């Protein structure tokens, strides 16, 4: 994707990440945790313009869960509440054995998409996700066997080397889909010039998504729209609508993104259009 794609009016895929795996209702009372709450949020976001929902499962106490059973329950609730949204499961994890990280890929049916972390990332004070190549390859092999499209997570510029290395050693269906992340820790430093650099260094045939955390979400996802890429918003990455004002809901963030795209004369993709763009 490129600025020419933007000028051509290619549809914008909006992914929503309604709940992450770390913060919960202590951070925002309306952050969804239960399958019913996540499903309700997903339905509202689909109506607002999201075509993909990125899912994390949780235990009854609100802590993150990796079990296939929990993802099955969550996915079924989302499918029942939504019309046709694309379901994407998270496989990222900190200090979690590989076998547990494979569990979200084993629901029936399998999710259409799943995240694939491409390298190590520091999270908070005492948490590091290692993501060695052997883990990446094992997760990718399971995705390929089950027909799941990987969203390759490039937490920083060096992870684009890992994207290229995976493309060289494995059969990744076209187009490769790369999520570039900008924020704190070992994510790319959030600045417009750094987003430009990431996009410039993507594989030639890659489709990309822009994810930026906190107050950087609005300006950098807007820039991602202009560069012909796609965007992710939601409470996993950002809890605020504007400086000093909490967002009312995930759907409010999706609706703002759709309005920005409308003003820029770029249509928002339907779920089926997202499937066509990504080769699902």
Q: For the segment 200-258, what is each residue's pLDDT rounded down to a tens digit?
A: 999 999 999 999 999 999 999 999 999 999 999 999 999 999 999 999 999 999 999 99
130 vs 274, higher pLDDT: 274
* pTM assigned to the model: 0.95
Q: Write down the CATH number for the domain with range 3-278.
A: 3.20.20.70
pLDDT at 79: 98
pLDDT band at 126 (very low <50, low <70, confident <90, very high): low
Q: Which residues pair with 182 in a beta bridge?
A: 188, 212
Split at pLDDT 50, 70, 90, the class of 26 is confident
DSSP state of 87: E
Q: How many CB atoms lie within 10 A of CB 274?
A: 25
Report the percentage of the chain scoring pLDDT > 90.
83
Q: Domain limits of the chain?
A: 3-278
Cβ within 8 Å of residue 71, ≥6 positions away = 55, 57, 65, 89, 103, 104, 107
**Concatenated DSSP letters for 194-261?**
HHHHHHHTS-TT-EEEEEE-GGGHHHHHHHHHHTT-EEEESTTT--EEETTEE-S-HHHHHHHHHHHH
CA distance 231 to 223: 10
| pLDDT tens figures, 40-67 | 999 999 999 999 999 999 998 888 899 9
Does 1 have pLDDT greater than 60? Answer: no
Q: What is the pLDDT of residue 151?
A: 98
Whole-number Å distance between alpha carbons of 198 and 53? 24
């Amino acid at each position: 994707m490129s600025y020419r794609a933007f000028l051509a009016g290619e549809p914008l895929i909006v992914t929503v990440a309604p709940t992450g795996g770390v913060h919960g209702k202590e951070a925002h009372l309306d952050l969804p945790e239960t399958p019913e709450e996540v499903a309700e949020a997903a339905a509202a976001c689909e109506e607002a313009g999201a075509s993909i929902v990125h899912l994390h499962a949780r235990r009854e106490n609100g802590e993150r869960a990796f079990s296939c059973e929990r993802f099955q329950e969550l996915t079924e609730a989302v499918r029942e509440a939504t019309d046709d949204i694309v379901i994407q499961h998270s496989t990222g994890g900190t200090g979690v054995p590989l076998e547990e990280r494979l569990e979200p890929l084993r629901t029936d049916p399998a999710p259409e998409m799943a995240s694939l972390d491409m390298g190590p990332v520091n999270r908070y004070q005492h948490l590091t996700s290692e993501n060695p190549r052997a883990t990446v390859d094992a997760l990718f092999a399971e995705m390929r066997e089950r027909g799941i499209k990987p969203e390759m997570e490039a937490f920083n510029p060096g992870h684009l080397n890992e994207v290229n290395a995976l493309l060289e050693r494995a059969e990744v269906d076209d187009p490769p889909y790369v999520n570039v992340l900008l924020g704190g820790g070992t994510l790319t430093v959030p600045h417009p010039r750094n987003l430009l650099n990431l996009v410039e260094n993507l594989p030639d045939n890659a489709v990309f998504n822009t994810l930026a955390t906190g107050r950087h979400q609005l300006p950098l996802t807007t820039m991602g729209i202009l560069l012909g890429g796609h965007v992710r918003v939601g409470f996993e990455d950002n809890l605020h609508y504007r400086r000093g004002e909490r967002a009312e809901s995930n759907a409010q963030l999706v609706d703002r993104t759709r309005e920005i795209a409308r003003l820029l004369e770029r249509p928002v993709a339907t779920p089926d259009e997202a499937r066509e763009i990504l080769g699902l």
